[in-house]
Each structure stands twice: as structure tokens, then as C-alpha cells.
């Protein structure tokens, strides 16, 4: 009866998400571009409200070569107040209203801004409008301006709301380099269309750019990109993203195996403002992994969870549950730089570890799970989570209580149990390129085969994201330590990187080192012995250019291993594994 009920719930949720995605796609295909690229109102011909201005032109946010975070403060200033840009660069400004008053960022020459301000003062109601060269942002929300600067010189940005310009809310853009030819346009048929996607998207947990947020309540660099479909339904901001991939895996050595399989993820996130300072959010994430077998897929040196509840999975990656996240959150802005938030999920992700591997830009294109997963982010699906956090500027302090037991072999149900585990995490984003975290958790009875064993887990990670011309690069370094109550503490290390060039070519790599003690079945004399193993993987995926929301790619990867001598008879001395895969991804 429980299984039947779970399947009915799963079918209903899948139908809801499919319908929601369909509605988003249908809504998003309405012609917004013409509205955003319409001629400037009278008196603003040289202002950024025109498609072509004297100093540049509107661009597609998706083709941005660099992302710059600009905060608008109630002290009538921008942060930063001066920005240097090279001619020809396509810049994606993420404009965050970190105050309690309405603010906007308008780009133009000083004369145009002065003229525009004078007109706004004379006719404030009649002059309010939204254009690609400006972002009018409500408190606690963010907007996007995408622009290509074509001529060297000085350009300014200002807030023209009420008397903010007269109070000195002005910044400067210094453009350096040679002029860009008129033909070298950065605009595309859907330039305004792209801007519409992210305009007004607010962060879930604090007064900062939405791009800072990753899986659960974790942070990534502000310069990261959220891929997917952004739209609005009434007062709700909605983002949908996901992927599905068909993979052929062949793992080398005596313990190797081969299998063709599919894995996938679909996530719908929505939030809305509540009063003047609140944000309420909902998230739903599902996976079709259980449809392709309880034993998951072959992955040399991987351990964790079970297919039948009787024997542990060894050298295989378990499938994810149908329900990966069903969560709600509420945040309340305390000031222009601080907030309190609450997050609850069944399932959800507690404040422990870095962002989950499939949500990191450095790892999302790699089709295989890290072998260090159970030292870093294995709690990303916990059946029962409550998190309370405080944000101030680039710092976040949060604590969680959650159910420590990992998901069982029944992948279609929603499990229940006491919130018997706890964690603390400190996150710090010193600037828009870096995201740092350190966390500590006490996990009660995570493994069903070692029910009397608890684990104290400590993790630390650093993520760096940078755009270089038409390329995006992210690098992640992470360390995790598991200290079981009845055994020896073990460590795992991860280095991970990805480079995406022109939205077409993505190169990715991962290097790991872990002390594995579950490589043999219970009863084997080597069970619970620690073996220091290593793995290096490198791969590539080619995404075919597409004008719609579906990006199709073909790729592959190769893996090599560091195997200690005492395991050569089991794994071989020099195994080689590879994967080939085809993927479709929402963009």
C-alpha cells in the first residue's frame, strides 16, 4: 500500500512539474524582445534605453564574457563606484538592491543622466519605464543589465529615483581599448528576451545576488551563472532547470563492469516577496534514476548505500531517489546587508559540506559521481531537515537539525524519522569570484549496515569562478573527514575544474584521494581495512548551438586510478575506465 501510494504521489508530482515546465516554455516564447528593444522615449535618444547608444548596445546576458555585481545601498551609493571595462566586452551586471528603498541603475553619459534626472523630477510618474540599459529593482531583489561597450572613454551609472541622483548616487565606468566596429554586434534575436529571464529575480536567503545560491542553502561565487529558464507568474519568480543523459560506462580491471544507463534531474524553484522585507520560497527536485535499476551504475572504487537492504553497493554508484528535494523557506531582511532565514525540507539538504556535486559548475558536466561523495556532500538528500541561518554581508552562519540515516533501497518513497543529527556551517564570499565554507556535523547512524555507528564529519571547501573573454572557468578544492564512533577517522580530498568556451566546448577534470574502508563485503577479513586510493578523470562535451531552451551535447571521459599494492590482485595494477554520453539540458 505504501509503495502504491508513493508511486501515485510521484506520478502526480512528475505531472505537475511537467505541466509547470510546459507553461514556462509556452509563456517564455511570447515575443518580449521587441518590447525591450523599442526606440527610446523622446529626449533619451543617446541614452541606454535605445538598442544602439553612442557608447555601446544591448547584449544577450547568456553571451556575457564577465559578470559584475553592483550593490545599491540606502546610503545613496553604489558598490563598487568605479568599474573598468575593455571595449568589446559583453558585461552582465547583476544589480542588487541591498536597501529598503526603491533604487535603479541607469547607464549613460553624464549629460544624458542629468537631462533624464531633470525630466524625472518634473514628471516622476510619467517617466518610469524599464529598458535594457537600466534596472529598476525593489528592495531585496536583483536585476540584470547586459551591455557591450564599444567606444573608449568614461560612462556613468546613476540612480534616478526621487532625489537619489542629487544626493550623489552616481558611479563611473572607465572603458579602455580601441573602438569596436559597428558590425561586431553583441545583440542576438533574443537579447531582450534573455534580459527578461533574470530581471527581478530575488535571492532566497538574503540581500545579495541570486547567483550566489546553490543547492540547499549553500553558496557559490556570485559570478557563477544559473542555467535554466527564468520567468514570472504573477508575484512569483520561477526558475526551472534540469538535464537528462544517456551514458555508456565501462569500468576497467578485474572488478570492472559495463552498463548503458540514464540519469536525470528536474528542479522547479519559485519565490515571492512577503511584505516589505520577507521572501517565501518553494523548491521541488525529482530524478528518474530509480527507473533504470536499483543497483545504479558501475563506478570503480565507489561505495555507499544498498540495492536490496542486505548487501552494500561496492564499485557502483547508487541511484538517486525520486524525490531529491521538497522544501520551503522564508527569509526576512534585517538591514541592507543582513537577513535571517529558515529552511525546511522533506527531503532537503542540511548545512553541511560544499554545494552538491551536480550543482557545481566545476562538476555538473561530469556524468559520474565523485568517490569522495560520502565525505563531502552525501547528506544532500536527507529525509527531514530544518535550518536556521543569519546573513551579514558576505558571511553566513547557519545550523541544521536533520535525519542522519542515508536513503534506503526504496527509491520511490518519502522516508520519516527523528531529526537526530545536527550541523553548523560558516560560509564566506569575500568577493564575487570566491565562495569559502567550513562545516561540522554529527550524523547519527548514517549507514544501515552499521546502525550503531555515528559519524562526526568535518568539511572545508573553496570555489573560484572567473570569466575570461568568451570562456568561463570554475575550480573547486574540498576536504572532508569522517570520524566514526567505532573506528578510525578517514579523509578525502577533491580537486575539480571545468572550462566552458563559447557555450559550446566544455573541458572538465577531477582528481580525488580517499581512504576507503568499505571495498569488501562483510565477512571478508579485509572488510573495514583502510586503503588509500586515488582517481583522476578528464573529459569533454560538445554542446550544439541552439536557439531554444534545450541544449544537446555529446561527450566522453577517461579515468585512471592509484591502487595500493595490496589491492592489485582485486583491482589490477593500472585499470582504465571510460564513459560516453549524450545529454539534453535546459538553458
Query: What CATH number is associated with residue 81?
Result: 2.60.40.420
Cell triple for 215: 543547492
Contact yes or no for 164/78 (Cβ under 8 A): no
SS3 content of the chain, % helix, strand, coil (to 5): 15, 45, 40
Quote the pLDDT of residue 361.
Answer: 94
Check pLDDT > 50 for residue 378. Answer: yes
Question: Does residue 266 sit in the same domain as residue 155?
Answer: no
Question: Does residue 494 sit in the same domain as residue 565?
Answer: yes
Distance CA 459, CA 362 (A): 18
Looking at the chain, the number of H-run helices and the number of E-run strands are 6, 30
Whether residue 166 lies inside any domain: the answer is yes
pTM of the model: 0.74
Whether residue 22 lies inside any domain: the answer is no
Of 178, 196, 214, the one marking the end of a domain is 196
Question: Does residue 384 sit in the same domain as residue 529?
Answer: yes
Distance CA 68, CA 399 (A): 30
- Helix runs in 462-573, H state only: 568-571
User: Minimum mean pLDDT among 126-135, 162-171, 267-276, 485-494: which range?
Assistant: 126-135
Confidence of residue 192 (pLDDT cuts 50, 70, 90): very low
Contact yes or no for 375/490 (Cβ under 8 A): yes
Whether residue 466 lies inside any domain: the answer is yes
DSSP line for 98-164: -SSS-EEEEEE-HHHHHHHHHHHHH-TTTT----TTEEEE-TTBEEEEEEEE-S-EEEEEE--STTT
Confidence of residue 244 (pLDDT cuts 50, 70, 90): very high
Distance CA 281, CA 93 (A): 24
Question: Does residue 141 sit in the same domain as residue 217?
Answer: no
Question: Does residue 39 sit in the same domain as residue 176?
Answer: yes
> Which of 145, 280, 251 is CA-nearest to residue 199?
145
Of 196, 213, 245, the one marking the end of a domain is 196
The number of domains in the chain is: 2
Quote the pLDDT of residue 39.
Answer: 30
Range with top average pLDDT, 220-229, 309-318, 510-519:
510-519
Check pLDDT > 90 for residue 199. Answer: no
Backbone angles phi, psi at 31, to 5 degrees: -75, 90
Question: What's the mean per-residue pLDDT of the chain?
Answer: 85
Question: Does residue 411 sit in the same domain as residue 445?
Answer: yes
Whether residue 566 lies inside any domain: the answer is yes
Of 196, 231, 248, the one marking the end of a domain is 196
Which range marks the domain in which residue 59 is found? Answer: 33-196
Q: Extract the runs of DSSP E, i.e. beta strands, from 429-575.
A: 434-443, 455-468, 471-484, 490-501, 505-516, 531-544, 550-562
Question: Does residue 119 sit in the same domain as residue 251?
Answer: no
Contact yes or no for 527/521 (Cβ under 8 A): yes
Question: Does residue 213 sit in the same domain as residue 248?
Answer: yes
Backbone angles phi, psi at 194, to 5 degrees: -65, -40
Whether residue 527 lies inside any domain: the answer is yes
Query: What CATH number is associated with residue 369?
Result: 2.40.160.10
Whether residue 374 lies inside any domain: the answer is yes
Question: Does residue 107 sit in the same domain as residue 229?
Answer: no
Q: Maximum CA pair distance of the chain?
A: 85
Question: Does residue 412 sit in the same domain as residue 324?
Answer: yes
User: How many other C-beta atoms are found inside a 10 Å radius of the C-beta of residue 253?
Assistant: 21
pLDDT in tens, 414-436: 999 999 999 999 999 998 789 99
Q: In what order do the strands lie in the sheet with 142-149?
A: 52-53, 56-58, 142-149, 90-97, 66-73, 77-79
Task: Using a pLDDT cut of 90, give the percent of the chain over it.
Answer: 57
- Return the H-helix or E-strand segment holding 337: none
Question: Does residue 233 sit in the same domain as residue 365?
Answer: yes
Quote the pLDDT of residue 62.
Answer: 66
User: Three-class SS of residue 63?
Assistant: helix
CA 359 to chain centre: 5
Phi-psi region of 56 (alpha: psi -120 to 50; beta: other; left: phi over 0): left
Distance CA 172, CA 280 (A): 35
Distance CA 67, CA 80 (A): 13
Quote the pLDDT of residue 184.
Answer: 42
What does the pLDDT average to over 336-358? 95
> Is beta strand 82-86 parallel, antiparallel or unpaired with respect to 170-176?
parallel
Contact yes or no for 374/494 (Cβ under 8 A): no
Quote the pLDDT of residue 503.
Answer: 85
> Which of 243, 242, 241, 261 is CA-nearest to residue 251?
261
User: Minimum mean pLDDT among 133-147, 248-262, 357-371, 522-536: which range?
Assistant: 133-147
Whether residue 9 lies inside any domain: the answer is no
Whether residue 343 lies inside any domain: the answer is yes
> Is beta strand 153-158 parallel, antiparallel or unpaired with respect to 170-176?
antiparallel
Question: Does residue 272 sit in the same domain as residue 134?
Answer: no
Amino acid at each position: 500500500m505504501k509503495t502504491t501510494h508513493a508511486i501515485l504521489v510521484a506520478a502526480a508530482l512528475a505531472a505537475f512539474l511537467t505541466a509547470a515546465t510546459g507553461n514556462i516554455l509556452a509563456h517564455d516564447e511570447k515575443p518580449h524582445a521587441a518590447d525591450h528593444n523599442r526606440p527610446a522615449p523622446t529626449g533619451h535618444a543617446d541614452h541606454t534605453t535605445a538598442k544602439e547608444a553612442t557608447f555601446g548596445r544591448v547584449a544577450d546576458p547568456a553571451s556575457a564574457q564577465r559578470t559584475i555585481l553592483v550593490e545599491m545601498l540606502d546610503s545613496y551609493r553604489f558598490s563598487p563606484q568605479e568599474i573598468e571595462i575593455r571595449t568589446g566586452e559583453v558585461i552582465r551586471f547583476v544589480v542588487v538592491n541591498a536597501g529598503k528603498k526603491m533604487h535603479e541603475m541607469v547607464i549613460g553619459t553624464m549629460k544624458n543622466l542629468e537631462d533624464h534626472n531633470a525630466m524625472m523630477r518634473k514628471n516622476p510618474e510619467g517617466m518610469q519605464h524599464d529598458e535594457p540599459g537600466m534596472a529598476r529593482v525593489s528592495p531585496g531583489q536583483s536585476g540584470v543589465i547586459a551591455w557591450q561597450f564599444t567606444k573608449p572613454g568614461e560612462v556613468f551609472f546613476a540612480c534616478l529615483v526621487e532625489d537619489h541622483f542629487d544626493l550623489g548616487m552616481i558611479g563611473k565606468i572607465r572603458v579602455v581599448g580601441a573602438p569596436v566596429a559597428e558590425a561586431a554586434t553583441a545583440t542576438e534575436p533574443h537579447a531582450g528576451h534573455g534580459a527578461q529571464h533574470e530581471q527581478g529575480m530575488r535571492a532566497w536567503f538574503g540581500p545579495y545576488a541570486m547567483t550566489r545560491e546553490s543547492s540547499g542553502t549553500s553558496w557559490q561565487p556570485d559570478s557563477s551563472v544559473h542555467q535554466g529558464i527564468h520567468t514570472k507568474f504573477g508575484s512569483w519568480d520561477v526558475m526551472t532547470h534540469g538535464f537528462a543523459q544517456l551514458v555508456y560506462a565501462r569500468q576497467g580491471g578485474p572488478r570492472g563492469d559495463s552498463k548503458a544507463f540514464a540519469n536525470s534531474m528536474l528542479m522547479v524553484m519559485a519565490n515571492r516577496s512577503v511584505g516589505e522585507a520577507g521572501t517565501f520560497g518553494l523548491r521541488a527536485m525529482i530524478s528518474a534514476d530509480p527507473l533504470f535499476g536499483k543497483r545504479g551504475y558501475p563506478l570503480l572504487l565507489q561505495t555507499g548505500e544498498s540495492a536490496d537492504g542486505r548487501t552494500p553497493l561496492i564499485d557502483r554508484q547508487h541511484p538517486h531517489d525520486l524525490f531529491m528535494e521538497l522544501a520551503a523557506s522564508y527569509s526576512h531582511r534585517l538591514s541592507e546587508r543582513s537577513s535571517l532565514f529558515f529552511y525546511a525540507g522533506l527531503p532537503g539538504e542540511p548545512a553541511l559540506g560544499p554545494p552538491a556535486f551536480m550543482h557545481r559548475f566545476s562538476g555538473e558536466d561530469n556524468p559520474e559521481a565523485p568517490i569522495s561523495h560520502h565525505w563531502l556532500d552525501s547528506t544532500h538528500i536527507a529525509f527531514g531537515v530544518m535550518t536556521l541561518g543569519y546573513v551579514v554581508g558576505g558571511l553566513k552562519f547557519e545550523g541544521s537539525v536533520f535525519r542522519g540515516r542515508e536513503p534506503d533501497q526504496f527509491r520511490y518513497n518519502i522516508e520519516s524519522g527523528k531529526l537526530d543529527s545536527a550541523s553548523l556551517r560558516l560560509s564566506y564570499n569575500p568577493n564575487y569570484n570566491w565562495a569559502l565554507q567550513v562545516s561540522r556535523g554529527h550524523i547519527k547512524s548514517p549507514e544501515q549496515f552499521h546502525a550503531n555507528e555515528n559519524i562526526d564529519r568535518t568539511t572545508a571547501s573553496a570555489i573560484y569562478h572567473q570569466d575570461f573573454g568568451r570562456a568561463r572557468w570554475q575550480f573547486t578544492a574540498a576536504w572532508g573527514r569522517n570520524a566514526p564512533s567505532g573506528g578510525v577517522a578517514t579523509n578525502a580530498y577533491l580537486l575539480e575544474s571545468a572550462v566552458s568556451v563559447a557555450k559550446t566546448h566544455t573541458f572538465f577534470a577531477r582528481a580525488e584521494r580517499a581512504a576507503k574502508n568499505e571495498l569488501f563485503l562483510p565477512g571478508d577479513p579485509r572488510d573495514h581495512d583502510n586503503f588509500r586510493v586515488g582517481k583522476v578523470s578528464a573529459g569533454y562535451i560538445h554542446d550544439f548551438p541552439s536557439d531554444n531552451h534545450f541544449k544537446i551535447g555529446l561527450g566522453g571521459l577517461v579515468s585512471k586510478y592509484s591502487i595500493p599494492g595490496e589491492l592489485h590482485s582485486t583491482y589490477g595494477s593500472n585499470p582504465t575506465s571510460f564513459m560516453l554520453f549524450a545529454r539534453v539540458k535546459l538553458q
